[in-house]
Amino acid sequence: MRGGRGGGRGGGRGGGFGGGGGRGGGGGGGRGGFGGRGGGRGGGRGAGGRGGGRGAGGRGGGRGGAAAVRGNVFQPHARMRGCYLLAGKDTLATKSLVPGVSIYGEKRLSGTTAGETESCEFRVWNPYRSKLAAAIYSGVAQIYMEPGSTVLYLGAASGTTVSHVSDLVGPEGVVYAVEFSHRSGRDLEEMTKRRNNIVPILEDARYPQKYRMLIPRLVDCIFMDVAQPDQARILALNAQHFLKDNGGFVISIKANCIDSTADPATVFASEVQKLKESGLRPKEQASLEPFERDHAVVTGYYKSPPK
C-alpha cells in the first residue's frame, strides 16, 4: 500500500465553469454533524454545472492556457481569507501567484478586488477538480489556511489543488507537498520551479519520519487527500510529527476506499471516531456531493481547540 496518491489527478470532470448555481462559496449547503453523510446535497450544482470543455489535464508544468478575461470585480470570501468570489456570481477563485501561467487548464480572469483599481489575475477554483474547493462550496466554516500560513499537504498528486493553496497562503506562506507517485511527483516538481512557496516531498505519507528533516517547523494546518484504508492513522501520525497544538486539519474521506461494502454514513462515523481516539478533535463534517460521490470532508483541531 502507498500512503501517497497514485497517478496525476489530471483530466477531471470538467475544465472551467461558469458562475451562478447554488451551493457556492458564500454559505453553501447545510453541514452535517458526525455520523451522517455530511451536510446533505444542498441547492443546485454549485458553480453552474460542469462548464465548457474538459480542461487541459493538470500535468502541472505551467501551461499557458486561455488568455485571462478582463473587467471583473472580485470580493474577498466572507470566511476564507485568501479566497475570492466573482461579484454577482458563485465563482470561487484565488489570486494567481504567477500571473500568465495556467496549471491545469483552469479559467483565468483579470479583474480587481472591491474598492481597488489595480488589476490582478485570478484563477477559477473548480470544485469538480479539487476536493478542497468542493469543501468550501459545501459550506465548511473553516479550512485553517490563510495568507502567511504553513500547510502540510498529504497526497499532492500533480499539484492541481496545491497550486491554489500556494496562491492562498501567498509569498509569506509555505506549502509542504507530499506525494509518493514519482510520475505525479515530476509534474509537481516542474510546477514548483515557478512557485517558490511550495516544497515538493516525494515520500510515502505513511512514514513521516522519512521526511521530518524537510519540514523544519510545526505547521498551521494539514490537508489530507490520501485514499487509503488507514488514512485516519496516517493523518494522526503526521499531526504528531508536524502539526502545532491547536493547529487545524482538513481530511477528505472516500468511503469506498475504506470499506466498499458498508454504508458511507457508517464509514464516515467510524473514521471520525478513529480521529478522536488519535488525539484529534473533529469539529465539522460535510458531504462533498454533488462534486464527489460518497465523499465527505472532516475538519477540526489537533488536541484542544483554542479558547
Q: Which CATH number covers residue 83?
A: 3.30.200
Residue-wise pLDDT tens for the chain (307 aa)?
Answer: 444 444 344 334 444 444 434 444 444 444 454 544 444 444 444 444 444 444 444 444 444 444 555 578 999 999 999 999 998 888 999 999 999 999 999 999 999 987 778 899 999 999 999 999 999 999 999 999 999 999 999 999 999 999 999 999 999 999 999 999 988 889 999 999 999 999 999 999 999 999 999 999 999 999 999 988 999 999 999 999 999 999 999 999 999 888 888 899 999 999 999 999 988 999 999 999 999 999 999 999 998 545 5
Q: Does residue 190 fall inside a structural domain? A: yes
Q: Which pLDDT value is given to residue 70? A: 58
Looking at the structure, do residues 205 and 285 belong to the same domain, yes or no? yes
Q: Domain count of the chain? A: 2
Q: Which pLDDT value is given to residue 41? A: 43
Q: Which pLDDT value is given to residue 198? A: 98
Looking at the structure, do residues 215 and 98 belong to the same domain, yes or no? no
Distance of CA 130 to CAs 58, 156, 259, 273, 292, Å? 11, 11, 23, 25, 9
Q: Does residue 92 fall inside a structural domain? A: yes
Task: Compute the distance between CA of residue 113 and CA of residue 67 in angstroms, rounded to an integer.
Answer: 19
Q: Does residue 41 fall inside a structural domain? A: no
- Angle of helix 160-169 relative to helix 182-192, nearest 10 degrees? 30
Looking at the structure, do residues 120 and 135 belong to the same domain, yes or no? no
Identify the domain containing residue 252 by its residue range.
131-302
Q: Are 240 and 285 in contact, with CB atoms under 8 Å apart?
A: no
Instruction: Tell me the chain's radius of gyration from C-alpha atoms.
Output: 18
Looking at the structure, do residues 144 and 282 belong to the same domain, yes or no? yes
Looking at the structure, do residues 167 and 96 belong to the same domain, yes or no? no
Q: Does residue 29 fall inside a structural domain? A: no
Q: Which pLDDT value is given to residue 74? A: 94
Chain-centroid distance of CA 223 in Å reads 7
Q: Which pLDDT value is given to residue 220? A: 98
Q: Are 65 and 58 in contact, with CB atoms under 8 Å apart?
A: no
Q: Which pLDDT value is given to residue 34? A: 52
Q: Which pLDDT value is given to residue 5? A: 43
Looking at the structure, do residues 116 and 171 belong to the same domain, yes or no? no
Count H helices and E strands in the chain, helices first: 6, 12
Task: Compute the distance between CA of residue 155 and CA of residue 203 in angstroms, rounded to an integer.
Answer: 10
Write out the three cell numbers for 243.
502539526
pTM confidence score: 0.76
Looking at the structure, do residues 98 and 215 belong to the same domain, yes or no? no
Q: Does residue 213 fall inside a structural domain? A: yes
Q: Does residue 8 fall inside a structural domain? A: no
Strands of 280-287's sheet, edge to edge? 198-201, 174-178, 150-154, 219-224, 243-254, 295-302, 280-287
DSSP element (H, E) containing 189: helix 182-192
Q: Which pLDDT value is given to residue 123? A: 97
Q: Is the dihedral of CA 32, 132, 299, 146 positive or negative?
A: negative
